[in-house]
Amino acid sequence: AQKITQTQPGMFVQEKEAVTLDCTYDTSDQSYGLFWYKQPSSGEMIFLIYQGSYDEQNATEGRYSLNFQKARKSANLVISASQLGDSAMYFCAMRERLTGANNLFFGTGTRLTVIP
């Protein structure tokens, strides 16, 4: 079974609008961490935001926020006020304590295109 599922291969958003990128995960561990990364065309993976499984508040980092719904096992990324530079691939990832601190499981990614 997939540990991380991203069901949106591609998304479009108008500049200055908000967009939500979906991510669901599968784990039996109680202690885990969820990450979102951005990969522009240059190829580098850029860390955006982190949510710990015990964190009660949704994580926020500037224009990025993570809509964490633990019971539904979802960790959607919300980008507010989209900018042209937000066009990139976005990956959701999870690290579990059970499998050690040594592996991030990645989803297949969502390609976001911001339209002027």
Q: Which residues bind other proteins (CB under 8 A)?
A: 4, 6, 9, 31-33, 35, 37, 42-45, 47, 50, 52-53, 91, 93, 95-97, 100-104, 106-109
Which one, 82 or 95, has the nearer CB to other proteins? Answer: 95
Q: How far is the CB of 16 from other proteins (least distance, A)?
A: 29
Which one, 101 or 116, has the nearer CB to other proteins? Answer: 101
Which one, 12 or 40, has the nearer CB to other proteins? Answer: 40
Which one, 32 or 68, has the nearer CB to other proteins? Answer: 32
Q: Which of 91, 80, 71 is nearest to 114 (CA)?
A: 80
Which distant-in-sequence residues (6+ apart) come within 8 Å of 41 by Cβ? 88
Q: How far is the CB of 61 from other proteins (least distance, A)?
A: 10
Q: How far is the CB of 58 from other proteins (least distance, A)?
A: 14
Cβ-contact 10, 108 below 8 angstroms:
no
- How many helices (H) and strands (E) would you count in the chain? 0, 12
Q: How far is the CB of 54 from other proteins (least distance, A)?
A: 9
Q: Which of 21, 5, 48 is nearest to 111 (CA)?
A: 21
C-alpha pair distances (Å), 112 with each of 22, 27, 57, 102: 12, 26, 26, 28
